[in-house]
Amino acid sequence: MTDFFSGIEKLQYNPDATELAFRHYNPDEVVLGKRMEDQLRFAVAYWHSFAWPGGDPFGDATFERPWAGDTMDKARLKADVAFEMFDILGAPFFCWHDADIRPEGATFKESRRNFEEIIEYFAAKMESNKTRLLWGTANMFSHRRFMSGAATNPDPEIFAWSAATVKLCLDATHKLGGQNYVLWGGREGYETLLNTDLKRERAQAGRFLQMVVDYKHKIGFEGAILVEPKPQEPSKHQYDFDVATVYGFLKEFGLEGEVQMNIEQGHAILAGHSFEHELALAASLGILGSIDMNRNDYQSGWDTDQFPNNVPEVAMAYYEVLRAGGFSKGGTNFDAKLRRQSLDPVDLIAGHAGAMDVCARGFKAAAAMLEDGTLENKRNARYANWDSEEGKSLMNSDLASIAQTVESSGMNPQPKSGQQEVLENIVNRFV
């Protein structure tokens, strides 16, 4: 045991607690036929919690972590603390990038060896710890070699480096029993159109993703391949702008049956969407995979990656997840970082504990709304005429016939109330 979290006990469920505890998240409580732990499938993000030192574009690191430094010893200490935190939180899952967990080596080979050694270290820990891997991913945006993209780089050698990196990370994810593998293309985009060939870069990205899918099948990885959309930042424009954009990309390369989405609230907001929009859209297209449940500040134009704290918003997100059948391989990752002024070890625990409680409240409200059924009944009733014979045949008709009918029938359709306020009031009975 390290002493990083000394004095902090494993969190308990206690609805009356005013101190550190779960007031709403009871892992064993059954909601919609499953334990909440199995419904929510919470994951801790290794990078924000353990690899980010508290810097921002205008300031240096604020956190003083005993594991700071680029050595294997530090990497192991970091892993020790991480698994201690997973225990304290009772976190069923975690997620990592390769660069979060190992020091960069002088060569690809050295980086690989460092990485594989830590993966072994994780594997050993996971034998005694219940925390599993929700997903692994490769950091192909921090090192300067990736400054102009990874798969979409104008330099084929960087494409190659990236391909080798994903292979490594996919192998490790497979080895650790990961449920999914995620690709977020932070620098798969451009800074200026003036030096960019959109057609080439798109072709590179399509081919790269196909290779990843092929390799997944080759090694028998049964997890889902997930793309995480974001409209921009760090790139001026990121190719995986939002769910609709990625869908078009998948369709172009015939990958819509192979790849799903990992959707983040903060990224949805930056793209001009509500979180529930992105979730509902992905669900309607059959590509909803997993979520990053961290919010963005509505007044900030960059990714703030804050822990969720608005229960009604979280409820609407889970409502879409539940309408789509709930999580299968996916889960609720907190791609959330402490504010850089939150210096203390206890802040790390408090941030996650509060988020888990907010999610538990939101999830239970969403489940109750769905069980109540009023919202879905009203939604279906609104479209009921499309289920009539006339509605169905209309879909198979053509403009000329329809025009004839419209004119000959003297039809004069009248609008009906959309009842938005009534529906919002129904929601507020549950959230």
Give least dist CB 129 to its own copies, A: 24
Q: Name residue 417's amino acid.
A: S
Residue 100 in the binding site for its own copies (CB under 8 A) = no
- If the CB atoms of residues 149 and 331 are measured against its own copies, the closer one turns out to be 149
- Of the candidate spans 31-39, 71-79, 87-95, 232-240, the one that interacts with its own copies by CB under 8 A turns out to be 232-240
Give least dist CB 11 to its own copies, A: 12
User: Which of 101, 170, 224, 293 is the binder for its own copies (CB under 8 A)?
Assistant: 170
Residue 197 in the binding site for its own copies (CB under 8 A) = yes
Residue 236 in the binding site for its own copies (CB under 8 A) = yes
Per-residue mark of binding to its own copies, 14-43 (x: CB under 8 A): ----x----x--------------------
Residue 159 in the binding site for its own copies (CB under 8 A) = yes
Residue 260 makes CB contacts below 8 A (sequence gap 6+) with 224, 225, 226, 227, 282, 287, 288, 289, 290, 330
Per-residue mark of binding to its own copies, 121-150 (x: CB under 8 A): --------------------xxxxxxxx--
- Maximum separation of any 2 CA atoms in the chain, in Å: 82
Residue 407 in the binding site for its own copies (CB under 8 A) = yes
- Of the candidate spans 5-13, 86-94, 101-109, 125-133, the one that interacts with its own copies by CB under 8 A turns out to be 101-109
Q: Please check if 38 is assigned to a binding site.
A: no
Beta strand pairing call for 34-35 and 30-31? antiparallel
Site for its own copies in 349-368 (CB under 8 A): 350-351, 353-354, 357-358
- Of the candidate spans 86-94, 258-266, 325-333, 348-356, the one that interacts with its own copies by CB under 8 A turns out to be 348-356
Q: Please check if 292 is assigned to a binding site.
A: yes
| Sequential DSSP letters for 33-99 | TEEHHHHH-EEEEHIIIII--S-BTTB------TT-SSSHHHHHHHHHHHHHHHHHHT-SEEEEEHH
Beta strand pairing call for 189-190 and 237-238? antiparallel
Residue identified by tokens 């995620």 is 182
Q: At what angle do helices 198-219 and 243-252 cross, to 10 degrees?
A: 80
Q: Active site residue: 100, 240, 242, 357, which one?
A: 100
Q: How many CA atoms lie within 13 A of 295 on its CB side?
A: 16
User: CA-to-CA distance for 100 and 167, rounded, in angstroms?
Assistant: 17
387 given a catalytic annotation: no
Both tokens of 341, joined, read 């002024």
273 given a catalytic annotation: no
User: Which of 1, 28, 33, 194 is the binder for its own copies (CB under 8 A)?
Assistant: 194
Identify the DSSP state of 107: S
Give the active site residues: 97, 100
